[in-house]
């Protein structure tokens, strides 16, 4: 009888980790012979090799989905470039080293579209990751994330390890980080809208509202992560994204959130604040070729669920 499949998800209590947990629970009996472990920060500090090794000895994973990272929004990335680089390099090095040491069958690591070159042609695809420097605003984080691809390929070339990477576009959903300064776009705007409604003030959006982004709902992304673990056999990265046609402006997102939360006030754009990268349009052609019947939750529906989760869990949400 073969040994039990044990899937360990680093960053298991974060946005995507919670999405994966919800998806696996929905699968019921289809996954009854597998053990899924969702790591919390209390399990150990992944910046420490010794603590990471102790986690692997404890849970004995056969497969790993690596989500854990130091993350933050535009202004946090601009302020803490050193910490974003060093902490993510340490986490990623330790995870992949332990996956090799403890003979993990497959490791799927999470990258980000911010790793792509700032000066590029669109749409971006998987072959363009290392074609030039990333945008200066998040270069610490972006270079650290790029190195997962480099190190994964090195482990495969030298040791035959089955390490691969995925590149999701902007993620949102329940269990996000709603911190006003350090969060990503949608959770930050949900929190700002909540405060504007509570305080009866204008909703102030940093920047012009013109930058364009592709947003993927955490529950949709969770399904894709599990599909990659089960079905994706390549070592090269794969972009996990909605279609190019689903790209929206930050202004459109703000209005979608306002509608979802029934905000009746005025939306104001503070153009004295930085916009960040104008666009990072990503192609999901490779994903569509391998998963042709893939569908995504409509954004209005997913934003409404995400906003309601924040309202219902305001007391305990990360903010």
The per-residue pLDDT for range 3-57, each reduced to its tens digit, is 799 999 999 999 999 999 999 999 988 888 999 999 999 999 999 999 999 999 9
First to last CA, the chain: 47
User: 23, 38, 141, 206: which one is catalytic?
Assistant: 141
Q: What is the pLDDT of residue 276?
A: 76
Which tokens is 182 given?
A: 């350090």
Q: Pick left, alpha or beta for residue 116 (phi over 0 → left; psi -120 to 50 → alpha; otherwise beta).
A: beta
Q: What is the pLDDT of residue 28?
A: 87
Is the C-alpha dihedral spanning 193, 195, 198, 202 positive or negative? Answer: negative
Domain at 5-173+214-244+281-297, CATH class: alpha beta
Q: What is the pLDDT of residue 213?
A: 93
DSSP string, 204-218: EEES-S--EE-EEEH
Residue with tokens 């056969």: 62
**Phi, psi dihedral angles at 175 (to 5 degrees):** 75, 20
Summarize the confidence of residues 77-81 as an average pLDDT: 87
Asked if 311 and 243 touch (Cβ cutoff 8 Å), the reply is: no
The per-residue pLDDT for range 148-204, each reduced to its tens digit, is 999 999 999 999 999 999 999 999 999 998 988 777 889 999 999 999 999 999 999
DSSP-assigned letter for residue 6: E
The per-residue pLDDT for range 89-146, each reduced to its tens digit, is 999 999 999 999 999 999 999 998 889 998 889 999 999 999 999 988 889 999 999 9
Closest CA to 311 of 263, 279, 266, 271: 263
Q: What is the pLDDT of residue 236?
A: 95
How much is the CA Rg of the chain, to the nearest whole Å?
A: 19
Closest CA to 245 of 212, 202, 196: 212
Q: Is 76's pLDDT higher than 90?
A: no
Closest CA to 60 of 37, 92, 32: 37
80 is catalytic: no
Q: What is the pLDDT of residue 2?
A: 53
d(Cα 248, Cα 59) in Å, to the nearest integer? 41
The per-residue pLDDT for range 296-319, each reduced to its tens digit, is 999 999 999 999 999 999 999 988
Asked if 304 and 181 touch (Cβ cutoff 8 Å), the reply is: no
d(Cα 243, Cα 240) in Å, to the nearest integer? 10
Q: What is the pLDDT of residue 1?
A: 41
Q: Pick left, alpha or beta for residue 170 (phi over 0 → left; psi -120 to 50 → alpha; otherwise beta).
A: beta
Which tokens is 52 given?
A: 């990471």
């Amino acid at each position: 009888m073969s040994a039990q499949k044990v899937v360990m998800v680093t960053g298991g209590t974060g946005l995507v980790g919670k999405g994966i947990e919800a998806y696996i629970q929905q699968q019921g009996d289809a996954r009854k012979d597998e053990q899924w472990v969702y790591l919390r920060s209390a399990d150990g500090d992944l910046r420490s090799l010794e603590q990471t090794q102790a986690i692997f000895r404890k849970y004995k994973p056969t497969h790993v989905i690596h989500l854990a990272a130091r993350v933050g929004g535009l202004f946090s990335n601009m302020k803490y470039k050193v910490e974003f680089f060093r902490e993510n390099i340490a986490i990623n090095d330790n995870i992949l080293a332990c996956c090799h040491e403890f003979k993990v069958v497959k490791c799927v690591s999470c990258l980000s579209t911010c790793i792509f070159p700032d000066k590029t042609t669109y749409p971006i695809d998987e072959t363009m990751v290392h074609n030039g420097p990333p945008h200066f605003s998040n270069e610490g984080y972006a270079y650290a994330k790029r190195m997962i691809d480099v190190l994964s390929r090195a482990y495969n070339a030298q040791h035959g390890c089955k390490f691969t990477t995925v590149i999701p576009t902007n993620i949102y959903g329940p269990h996000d980080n709603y911190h006003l300064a350090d969060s990503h776009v949608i959770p930050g705007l949900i929190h700002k809208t909540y405060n504007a409604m509570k305080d009866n003030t204008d909703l102030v959006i940093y920047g012009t509202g013109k930058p364009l982004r592709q947003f993927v709902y955490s529950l949709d992304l969770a399904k894709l992560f599990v599909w990659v673990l089960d079905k994706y056999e390549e070592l090269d990265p794969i972009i996990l994204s909605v279609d190019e046609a689903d790209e929206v402006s930050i202004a459109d997102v703000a209005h979608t959130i306002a509608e979802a939360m029934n905000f009746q006030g005025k939306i104001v754009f503070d153009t004295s604040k930085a916009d960040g990268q104008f666009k990072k349009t990503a192609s999901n052609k490779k994903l569509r070729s391998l998963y042709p019947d893939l569908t995504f939750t409509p954004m209005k529906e997913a934003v409404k669920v995400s906003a309601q989760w924040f309202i219902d869990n305001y007391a305990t949400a990360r903010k």
